[in-house]
Structure 1
Amino acid sequence: MSGYEEDASRRRGADGDVPPPPRVVALGGGHGLYSSLSALRRVTTDVTAVVTVADDGGSSGRLRRELGVLPPGDLRMALAALCGDDEWGSTWTEVVQHRFRSEGELHGHAVGNLLIVALWELLGDSVAGLDWVGQLLGAHGRVLPMSSVPLDIVAEVEGADPARPDEVVTVRGQVACASTRGRVRSISLIPDQPPVPGQVLRAVREADWVVFGPGSWFTSVLPHLLVPDLARALVATSARRVVVLNLSPQRGETDDFAAHTYLEVLAGHAPELGVDVVLADRKGVEDAVRLERVAGGLGAELVLDDLAVADGTPRHDPERLAAAFDRILLG
């Protein structure tokens, strides 16, 4: 049961009607999107994940190269995050996340990746295939690909060669960009005007809230803003926008980033995008005054909360993040 359903009684109007759940679109990929979706499904019954499709490593990369399909891994993780906590949901989460271990060709492939690709081949429709997997899993929401074609991320990287710290080189591919030894200055996409499923644009247009992050900033969050049709929809939507900051820098991709740096990079890649709320972990912010000033420059209110797991590792706690979303989205 979602937090929205649990608290419906306190939100009843004078006529006894319960307002509809907020329509939320969450953007990202990988573990960051998994965290936000695990929290959001506890807050609303109407959540749509829009997932990056640029992965070129591991099982996803192998399937992409061999079959010419969208990389399914981040889509699989998003579906798993939307599974419930009951026996059905927890069982299917384990199934789709399970990876084969062998000495043969199946080694490293995730069951969910193969299931998704099988449905794509049978149905010839990436969105319909994901909807069928979502129904099987009992997912509390919908998962959509950011583009209907696979993408490549191209990064301008400074200091990739320690012997030439001021040299800027071009790095291509999500894995290469995420693991570079240099500092990523900017990214672009190939193709630069990829097609966007109509269901994605409709979800953004009809949303009450759009959530960016957390996640790998250059390879999971920012790519959404570089797809022209999607970027225009994100700027034009009447939805309010929340940016969830990472708990710590990501080695290689965002080395030495302070909390405010994420917002500065976001503004640099999408100067027309307004932001309503910036959500950050209070213990992970070294300079709250500067962060508030940068957030204010984007038109956003800064909300600091306790979001990390209690063991001190840089991971978002789904219950704490859900509580923060509840106060922001439903307060």
Structure 2
Amino acid sequence: MKRKWKRSAMALFSGTVLMLAACGNNTSAPEKKEEKPDDAAKQEESKKYKIGITQIVEHDSLNAASDGFKAALKDAGIDVEYDSQIAQGDNSANTSIANNLVSEGVDLIFANSTPSAQAAASATSDIPIVFTSVTDAEGAELVESNEKPGGNVTGTVDTHPDAIPNTLKFLKEELKAKKVGMVFNSGEQNSRAQVDSIKKLIKDEGLGLEIEEASVATSADVKQAAESLVGKVDSMYTITDNTVVSALESVVSVANENKLPMMVGEFDSVKRGGLAAYGFEYYDIGYEAGEMAVKILKGEGEPAEMPVQYPQNLKFVINKETAEAIGVKVKDEWKAEDVNDSEK
């Protein structure tokens, strides 16, 4: 009897141990499931981000850049709530917009223009900032260097290394220009940098061109400034100045009425009546900035280590209607695309 009792006790003890072990395995299973990397990735993908957009003024080029930025995030499947604000050329409003976006705790700021990027960079060193429509990121003190930004700011610039040299060469060799009029906002760092770069290049390359400046503070000053150049110059060059481009038709009317061929800094200005440009689409640099934002939001890159990008595609575009109106003969060897063809 004692042996039988012992065998029964041993069997009961073994069964109890097995049951406890099984229970222990069941309680640990949910913890392993919560730690799966796939689940974390799915949660990240389903997250809705809030992005603040700050833009200094409203005009076709900057608007196109914003459209391109949004398209890049949409194509990447990023769920975004946007807070888009435009300063309408008012620097105090520009600063307030940047501070407001920081107070809202947005996940990322898209700064469209040099003043917008500078205001955002002054407002925060924690929130990632991606800019576009900036000409000289280093000169504007947005980054330590284009190759290694070093902070919370990076983005795409709106000038190609060959754009200004090609434009000046075209003015000199093809349009036989000698005195070039430039209307720009000298208070905008983006513009001052371009004009200084143009003057230096003319001197370094011995191009023999003279620059006649006409400075403006607001878009209301643009037409009068353009008119002040009549009789002093034989051509004009309108750079990517936000103040002037927002009132471009004023410069176009003055230039065309006085048969002054006007080179411009980007394609939208050619569509609006400028003669020609070595440039790119602002939509494209906005899209490229959006691709950078996607990497930042997904944790695949940090602004400090993401080099500033130049426009990827540079081409020569001309407005043949403008050329005909001011008496400029378009040569086949220019290999220029007619901006009006793209709209037909």
Q: TM-score range by the shorter chain?
A: under 0.3
Q: TM (normalized to structure 1)?
A: 0.26
Q: Which has the higher helix share?
A: 2
Q: TM (normalized to structure 2)?
A: 0.26
Larger Rg: 1 or 2? 2
